[in-house]
Chains A and B, each alone.
Chain A
Amino acid sequence: MKVISAKEAAELIKDDSSVMIGGFLGVGTPDEIITEIIDKGIKNLEVIGNDTSFVDRGIGRLVNAKSVKKVVVSHIGTNPETQRQMIENEIEVELVPQGTLAERVRAAGVGLGGILTPTGVGTTVEDGKQIIEIEGIKYLLELPKKADFAIIKAKSADQLGNLVYSLTARNFNPLMAMAGTTVIAQVEEILPVGCLAPDAIHTPGIIVDYIVVGGRK
C-alpha cells in the first residue's frame, strides 16, 4: 500500500478505463479523487456504481463533465443529465437491479463464475440471459462484473491500508475493494497500526493498492 495524493490517483487512470466507484447517491463516494479525474479531463470511462447520483454530486459530476461513455448502475432517476445524455445517445446506460449489481461485483471479487438470482425473471432484465431452473424455481445467470480500478471511500485506514467504513457510506465500497484490479481508497484519516481492532476491520489492507487522504474528518 502506498499513500498518494488525489491528483496522483487520477494520473493512474487512463481514458477508456473501467472504474468502479463506491457510493449511494453520493454518500460514501471518494469526491476528492473524482474532482481530480474531472480536472485531468479523462474521457470515455466505463463507470460501475449504484447510481449516477445528482448532477452536482458524486458520480453525477463525472457524467456532467462528459467523462463517461457508459454507466452500469441500478438507478439514474435523480440525475436528469444522465437521462438527457442517454436520450441523445451520448452515454450508454446499463440498468441492473441493485441486489444483482451488488452480487455481480461481489462475484468478480470472490472468484465466482456468476450468480443465480430470481430477480428479473420474466422482466426485460432477463433478455439475452441464461435461465437455469433449480428445484422448480427459475433463476437468471448473472455474470461477474470487474473493473480496472476500484475507487472507494472509507472512514479510516491504518498504516497497512486496513479499512473501516462508516454507516450507510459503506454500501458498495467493500465489494468493489475486492473486484478492482487496482484499488484506490480515499480515507479521512490514517491511524497507526494497531488502532483498528481485528474484528473491526472491514477490508484488509493487503488488497488495497493506494490510499488518498481527503474529505471531511
Chain B
Amino acid sequence: MDAKIKIAKRVAKELENGQLVNLGIGLPTLVSDYIPENIKVFFQSENGILGMGGAPLSGTENPDLTNAGAGYVTAIPGAMAFDSAFSFALVRGGHLDVTVLGGLQVDEKGLLANWMVPGKMIPGMGGAMDLVTGAKKVIVAMTHTAKGNPKIMKECTLPLTSIRRVDLIVTDMAVIEPTDEGLLLKEIFSDTTIEEVVKYTEAKLIIPENVGIIEG
C-alpha cells in the first residue's frame, strides 16, 4: 500500500465523534477519506470555515469556497464562515480538538520542524505555528524517512515550528508517542519489525514489552 495512504488510514482512527479537526495541506488532507463511518467530525480550514465538506461536483464549484490550498470545497449544512482573526481564535483559544500536520523533522523531545529548510526551501509557516501551539492534540503525519534518512532525530537541525511537544507521530513504519520520558514506540506496521524501525530512527526510542501491530 502507498505509504501516504497507510499513514492517513492510521491517523483517521485517532479521531473521535464531534471533534473539530484541522487537516494540513498534502498528506494530512487524505485523512478525511478514511474516517470510520460511525465517526462524525467537523473540519475547520484556517482560511475561514468550520464545517468544510468534500470536493464539489464538477460544474458546481464556488470560487468563494475553497480550502487552505485554494482547492474547491463544499460547506456542510450548519457550516459557518468567518474572518482570519476568528479562525485563529478557534485555533489558539483551545477550541480546536485536533490538528494533523506534515513534518520535516521531529526530535527526541517531540518538537516539530516543518516550515523551512534554510537556503533551500522557504515557503513560510502559514498557519502551522499557531496550529501546533494552540490545538488540543497535535498529530504529525509523515513518512518515517526522507530518501532513506531518518526524520525522527535526536535534535531537529531545521528551525522549529513551536516549542510545544506534539502528541503523536504517525509514519509509514510506526506510531510513536512523545512522553516526558522520551519517544514511546506504541505500534509498528505488520510489514516491518521493531529492529527496522530502530534502524531508521535517529532518536532513542523507548520500546515497551507490548508493541501493537497495525495490519495493512
| Contact residues of A between 139 and 192, Cβ < 8 Å to B | 155, 165-175
CA distance A174 to B62 in the complex (A): 20
A64 at the B interface (CB under 8 A): no
Tell me which residues across on chain A come within 8 A of B83, comparing CB atoms: 102, 165, 170-175
Extra A-B contacts (12), CB below 8 Å, given A119-B129, A168-B67: A25-B66, A75-B124, A83-B122, A95-B122, A98-B88, A99-B129, A121-B163, A125-B125, A167-B75, A168-B48, A175-B84, A175-B85
Chain B contact residues: helix, strand, loop or mixed = loop
Q: How far is the CA of A105 from the CA of B63 in the complex (A)?
A: 25
Q: What's the minimum C-beta distance from A85 to chain B, rounded to whole angstroms?
A: 12
Which 10 pairs across A and B sit closest by C-beta, in order of nearness?
Answer: A77-B123, A99-B88, A122-B163, A99-B130, A25-B70, A102-B84, A169-B64, A75-B124, A97-B129, A166-B64
Interface pair A168/B92, CB less than 8 Å apart: no
B163-200 interface code vs A (CB 8 A; 1 in, 0 out): 10000000000000000000000000000000000000
Q: Chain B residues near A98: list those with CB within 8 A.
A: 46, 84, 88, 125-127, 130
- Listed in ascending order, the chain B residues whose CB lies under 8 Å from chain A are 45-49, 62-70, 75, 81-85, 87-88, 91-92, 122-130, 133-134, 159-163
Name the residue of chain A whose CB is nearest to the CB of B79. Answer: A167
Q: Which residues of A contact B87 (CB under 8 A)?
A: 99, 102
User: If the complex has contacts A24-B48, A28-B64, are A97 and B125 also in contact, measured as CB distance less than 8 A?
Assistant: yes
**0 or 1 for each of A111-145: is its CB under 8 Å from B? (1 = yes):** 00000011111111100000000000000000000
Is A61's beta carbon under 8 Å from chain B?
Answer: no
Chain A residues near B64 (CB-CB < 8 A):
27-28, 155, 166-169
User: Is A45's CB within 8 Å of the partner chain B?
Assistant: no
A26 within 8 A of B: yes
Closest to B88 in A: A99
B47 in contact with A168 (CB, 8 Å): yes
Q: What's the nearest-Cβ distance from chain B to residue A46, in Å?
A: 17
A27:B66 contact, CB within 8 angstroms: yes
Query: Which listed residue, B47, B62, B134, B162, touches A123 by the CB 8 Å rule?
Result: B162
